[in-house]
Amino acid sequence: MRAHGVPNFPDPTKGPGGEGMPTSMSTGSSTVTVEGIPFSGPVFLAAEKTCKLFGGGTAPVPISESQRLALFHFAQCMRKHGVPSYPDPIFPAGGGIMQASGAGLNRDSPAVEHAAGVCNKT
């Protein structure tokens, strides 16, 4: 991704359930959030397709049961650590992950950033 114009794309990590990078997409938005960093725009979309990331733009990535549970636990952790409007992830029938925007949720707020820092470590 970085070699294709997305310089701040994070290195892959493993979560507590063995799942890969925490990733979400807000309903009605083309923004993808990876490791708490939002990405969008034509350069990101081209890199995503070239690198076949998240299915390469052709098919949603299959989500394992442990990944689903880890994403639900992350949402619970966010709410527990001061972000009461953080929504649960949504898993569409065709695969992949979506995340509702959450009423009044500002993903750039210090409270969200702090909670994400705590929850990404657990």
Strand (E) positions, 59-118? 89-90, 98-99
Average pLDDT, the chain: 75
Q: Please compute the mean of the pLDDT values over residues 29-47 and round it to a whole number.
A: 79
In this predicted structure, the answer to whether residue 31 has a pLDDT above a threshold of 80 is: no
In this predicted structure, the answer to whether residue 112 has a pLDDT above a threshold of 50 is: yes
pLDDT digits (tens, 9 = 90+) for 53-81: 655 445 556 677 888 888 888 889 989 99
In this predicted structure, the answer to whether residue 116 has a pLDDT above a threshold of 60 is: yes
Q: Please compute the mean of the pLDDT values over residues 81-106 and round it to a whole number.
A: 76
* HSE toward the beta carbon, residue 39, CA cutoff 13 A: 25
104 close to 111: Cβ distance less than 8 angstroms: no
